[in-house]
Amino acid sequence: MFKRNTPLTLGQKILGFFWPSIGWRRAGAYSMHRLARMPGSAYSIAGGFACGAAISFTPFVGLHFIFSAILAWIIRANILASAIGTVVGNPWTFPFIWAWLYQSGIWLTAGELTESLKTPAFGELFGNMMEALLSVDLQYLMETTGAVFWPMLVSSVPTGIVVWLVFYVPLKYMVERYQRRRRRRLGTGYFTNKGR
């Protein structure tokens, strides 16, 4: 019923991922609408999304879905919302996230940047990291990525906490408001409110 008359090609889908055809503002509003209509309490939805956003600020590229789902499960938040929240880490934001994690991690662990580590090759770093993780070779992991990975990991803990709060607080308010308006519009006092 709601399918396109002419399906998008693979190239158009990829382009749409990087630059939505409906514009960033409408894409954001549509995503917020879809998020708020998910079943569950405002806590569950906002907490789940915040988990995905927080996990995006870790150096575990490729494992964000898994770790955000685990974190959401631990705090009894919506696991699907946590998967949606991982979109905070995307090709547009990763360079800034990695630079922040690395710079702040160096400050937290050593206090100053060493000349040899000022500009790490993040593409090579994450390639080596994934190769080491897939082969379960921790020694190779530390040899090839340790000098960059460790500061990023240390920084990801306080950064993740702050990011979780930054997303959770306004989202919880927005979802609660949306659910109240929807209840009034439907003319019922009942609305699915699972979780906390």
pLDDT tens digits for range 36-93: 677 788 899 999 999 999 999 998 888 899 999 999 999 999 999 999 889 888 888 8
**How far is C-alpha 150 from the chain's CA centre?**
20
Closest CA to 77 of 69, 89, 88: 69
Q: Is 21 helix (H, G, I), strand (E, B) or coil?
A: coil
**What predicted TM-score, i.e. pTM, was given to this entire model?**
0.69
Amino acid at 105: G
Query: Is residue 106 predicted with pLDDT exceeding 80?
Result: yes
Residue corresponding to tokens 């990695």: 98
Across 9-162, where does the E strand assignment appear?
A: none
